[in-house]
């Protein structure tokens, strides 16, 4: 097969999936794309927000979604310098980018054929025999351009894209492949580089997601169903510290307790407003060691496990909603967050959670389940450390996610307490795929630093990366109690939620 190096004319491209008419409203409440954009170009046909996995990291999935044909295709060796060279050239020529890896040569060849490319631009050390019949021109790669390839490609201007279809705003992260980003930019898409794979991470990206359909590039966005659900919540308001996510975007320092007094925790040692003021002094100490906003929080025990059965025989005391309103009002008025905590005894977690639905309909109130106090028939609290099954926890998660969704609330913290493996034996079966919930694992063991660190490390074994870790400092039981500096500098990873008991 003959190979020739030629000069190349500007790429001519046609987009896939042109919209013939406006789509119906998506199942997540976002309208589909209209037939033409403000630029006069036909819009990319979409039924709602969409995530493209690009699981191989070679850009083929994105090329197939955004380009029907292209006279020119840019291919890059699998290294940052080649990616930057290819990306910038592709954006200039409105052409897709494909990354050649050790195991995808055949797929690259098929994609070049599908696009009908007449010319291939090659950046880096590539076996051109794998690129099909198109003419090949080699691009000169600057070896010094290998720093932060994603940022360089995102920052490359693309206002003069000749792509004939209007592509919506695109969300990417540092984990998104350079080929995927460059292909989106070559198609003329506005590209937003996020610190976390969720459109609710900043007020700015929330606004973009709330205004219309967007694309997300990379499997880190959780797939189309999750991403569309997250996008649908972008107009549900911000949380303290900014953005629509519980974490990341802020960290929380909490007092744990019950309004009845100090016996159940430090929160109840003072009236609501005084407790907030006292807590804020601690929050300020933590803020010295953290760039993200640190906000105050209360973790309020709303059902308290009991050694006596009580009138309903479930070994837990469910206090009335109105007992907790002053503390929730005080912490939210101070720009903080509240988590209500269930100690169910023999009761069912879901039944107890529903008793406090009125509180959970508030935007700044999350839910914690404490398996330590979940016991079976014939058992009494404190006789053993309790445990909970994934099935029961998932029932609560599904209910809370639906409550959040139906009431147009921002994401909620969903906290599970654990300090022994047996407390959550089938933890790997607990669902963490609700965009309405931020799963938090609260490691609340006490003792010496070595013992606490051992518990902390063991609990993270096999843990999905969807979980956010929380830490508890015991004022009396820890020996000694960690200072704010120790907590943030020595506990690894740094906890998103720190409570004091």
Give the pLDDT confidence score for residue 144 in this predicted structure.
86
Take residue 295 and report the two structure tokens written for it.
Answer: 């906000």
pLDDT in tens, 133-153: 889 999 999 988 888 999 999
| pLDDT value for 1 | 36
Chain segment 177-200, per-residue pLDDT in tens: 999 999 999 999 999 999 999 999
How many Å is the Cα radius of gyration of the chain? 27
Which run of H or E residues covers position 365?
A: strand 365-370
Mean pLDDT for the stretch of residues 384-396: 96
Q: Which of 215, 218, 204 is nearest to 173 (CA)?
A: 218
Name which residue leads in pLDDT, 485 or 382: 485
Answer for the pair 140, 85: CB distance below 8 angstroms, yes or no.
yes
Residue 29 scores a pLDDT above 70 = no
Burial-class residue 96 by CB neighbours within 10 Å (0-12, 13-18, 19+): buried
Whole-number Cα distances in Å, 344 to 311, 324, 381: 15, 17, 10
| Ranges of each domain in the chain | 13-232, 251-500
Encode 44-93 in three state secondary structure: ECCCCCEEECCCCCCCHHHHHHHCCEECEEEEEECCHHHHHHHHHHHHHH
Overall pTM > 0.85: yes
One DSSP character per residue, 248-260 reads SS-EEEEEEEBTT
Q: Tens digit of pLDDT for each residue in 327-372? A: 999 999 999 999 999 999 999 999 999 999 999 999 999 999 999 9
Reported as a single tens digit per residue, the pLDDT across 42-88 is 999 999 999 999 999 999 999 999 999 999 999 999 999 999 999 99
> For the ranges 40-44, 341-345, 380-384, 416-420, which has the lowest average pLDDT?
380-384
- Rounded Cα distance, 402 and 407, in Å: 8
pLDDT digits (tens, 9 = 90+) for 13-22: 333 333 333 3
Mean of pLDDT values over 86-112: 96
Tell me how far apart the alpha carbons of residues 445 and 407 are, in angstroms, rounded to a whole number.
35
List the CATH code of the domain at 251-500.
3.20.20
Strand order in the sheet with 97-100: 97-100, 72-77, 119-123, 135-139
């Amino acid at each position: 097969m003959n190979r020739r190096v030629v000069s190349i004319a500007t790429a001519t491209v046609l987009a896939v999936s042109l919209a013939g008419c406006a789509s119906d409203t998506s199942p997540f409440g976002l309208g589909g794309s209209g037939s033409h954009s403000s630029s006069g170009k036909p819009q990319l046909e979409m039924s709602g927000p969409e995530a493209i996995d690009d699981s191989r990291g070679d850009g083929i999935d994105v090329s197939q979604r955004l380009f029907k044909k292209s006279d020119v295709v840019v291919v890059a060796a699998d290294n940052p310098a080649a990616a930057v060279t290819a990306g910038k050239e592709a954006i200039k020529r409105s052409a897709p980018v494909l990354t050649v890896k050790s195991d995808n040569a055949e797929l690259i060849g098929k994609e070049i054929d599908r696009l009908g490319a007449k010319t291939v631009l090659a950046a880096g050390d590539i076996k051109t025999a794998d690129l099909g019949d198109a003419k090949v021109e080699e691009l000169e790669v600057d070896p010094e351009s290998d720093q932060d390839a994603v940022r360089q490609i995102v920052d490359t201007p693309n206002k003069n894209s000749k792509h004939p279809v209007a592509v919506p705003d695109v969300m990417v992260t540092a984990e998104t492949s350079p080929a995927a980003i460059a292909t989106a930019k070559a198609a003329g898409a506005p590209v937003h580089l996020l610190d976390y794979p969720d459109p609710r991470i900043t007020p700015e990206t929330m606004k973009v997601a709330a205004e219309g359909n967007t694309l997300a590039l990379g499997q880190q966005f959780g797939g189309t169903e999750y991403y569309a659900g997250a996008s649908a919540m972008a107009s549900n308001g911000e949380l303290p510290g900014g953005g629509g996510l519980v974490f990341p975007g802020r960290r929380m320092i909490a007092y744990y307790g019950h309004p009845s007094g100090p016996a159940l925790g430090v929160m109840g040692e003072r009236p609501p407003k005084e407790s907030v003021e006292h807590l804020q002094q601690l929050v300020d100490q933590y803020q010295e060691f953290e760039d993200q906003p640190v906000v105050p929080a209360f973790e309020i025990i709303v059902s308290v496990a009991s050694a006596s059965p009580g009138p309903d025989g479930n070994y837990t005391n469910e206090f009335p909603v109105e007992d907790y309103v002053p503390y929730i009002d005080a912490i939210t008025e101070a720009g903080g967050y509240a988590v209500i905590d269930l100690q169910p005894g023999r009761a069912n977690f879901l039944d107890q959670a529903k008793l406090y639905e009125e509180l959970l309909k508030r935007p700044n109130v999350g839910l914690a389940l404490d398996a330590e106090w979940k016991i079976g028939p014939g058992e009494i609290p404190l006789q053993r450390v309790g445990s909970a099954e994934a099935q029961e926890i998932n029932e609560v998660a599904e209910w809370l996610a639906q409550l959040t969704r139906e009431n147009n609330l921002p994401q909620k913290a969903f906290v599970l307490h654990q300090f022994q493996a047996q407390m959550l034996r089938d933890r790997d079966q607990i669902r963490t795929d609700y965009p309405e919930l931020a799963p938090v694992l609260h490691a609340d063991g006490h003792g010496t630093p070595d013992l606490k660190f051992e518990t902390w490390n063991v609990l993270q074994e096999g843990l999905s990366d969807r979980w956010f870790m929380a830490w508890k400092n015991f004022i009396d039981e820890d020996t000694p109690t960690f200072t704010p500096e120790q907590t943030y500098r020595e506990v690894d990873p740094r906890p998103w939620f720190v409570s004091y008991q």
